[in-house]
Amino acid sequence: MIFSELYSAYYNAVARILKAACSHPLSKAELRDIVEREAFGESLLTIEPAMLGERWQLLNADGTTPIRFEPTMPLTLLQRKWLKAIALDPRIRLFSDEVWEDPDVEPLFRQEDMDVFDRCSDGDPFDDEHYIQCFRMVLSAIREKSPLWIEAASPKGYVNHYVLTPQRLEYSEKDDKFRLVGHDGRHQFVNLARITACKRYSGKVRYPEELPVQPLKRVVELELLNERNALERVLMHFAHFEKRAEKQDDLHYRILVTYNEEDETEMLIRILSFGPVVKVRSPEDFVMKIRDRLIKQKRFQSSMGSSA
């Protein structure tokens, strides 16, 4: 958890709890409020019983803390090594030429140490200077809500031209690609690697500047059997999704995961990868899609067995 900017929220939440407890006895309601504000909905499943049950020995039963001074969070050696490793990621240069410099430590890992087997091999050219220039131009335009003129090649080789207001950038971990989401009176999606030219547009646009470009959100309800550390694996796997976890009993959890409708195929694949420890309860159409995939998979396995 220390290696994720999302999960570092746990450490910040505990630091806020201890800071408050240094000044006054902390109530259960105040602790919950800090956790919900600083971390995630499911964080209460871990932090509250560990703190109030004195398993972590950071809070006393009366809400005070044995810690005398407010906690600070300097970088540890492990964190410095992690930052050094992240600085070696070629995507870092998309945002800035200034990268983490710490000559006193070795990186925790190097890019060549990773063997990613479920990612497309034709990812974006993050080292390409033209790609970097386009990425920064798009990022700046998103921040300033400034329209762009874009020339981009289509998959069939045609050249498309857009005058659009960029809304956000999306990254697909599976495809290893960025795409621009914007509008020119309607929603547009442009793969950054296909942009051949990009510049600020100084003319007037004839479409509403505040046209919302929000993907349709869906919520899938999962029932999880916490065997073989399944709860931790699921929460980490869906760390970058909005979610809520509720404990049903010692072994069963109810988990709600919010996702974009356009990512439904990827969600199906992700959920199926957990096997029988995860069951989909709703929505019904999602349950049917899971069922159809399992039936097709069984038929395929049967056909492969008979042909052998």
CATH number, domain containing residue 296: 3.30.70.120
**Alpha-carbon distance values, 12 to 39, 238, 280 (Å):** 8, 20, 33
Asked if residue 98 is part of any domain, the answer here is no
Q: Does residue 67 share a domain with residue 133?
A: no
Contact predicate 148/201, CB 8 Å: yes
**How many structural domains does the chain have?**
3
Give the DSSP H/E element, type plus range, for residue 273: none
pTM equals 0.56
Would you state the pLDDT for residue 151? 92
Closest among 281, 277, 284 to 224, alpha carbons compared: 277
Would you state the pLDDT for residue 1? 45
Give the alpha-carbon dihedral of 121, 122, 127, 129, to 10 degrees: 180
Would you state the pLDDT for residue 120? 75
Q: Does residue 229 share a domain with residue 190?
A: no
Would you state the pLDDT for residue 68? 85
Would you state the pLDDT for residue 294? 82
Cα angle value 146/147/152 (rounded, 5°): 135
Domain end call among 175, 200, 225: 200
> Domain range holding 152?
129-200
The residues of the chain scoring below 50 in pLDDT are 1, 211, 213
- The label of the residue with tokens 């050696």 reads 77
Asked if residue 188 is part of any domain, the answer here is yes
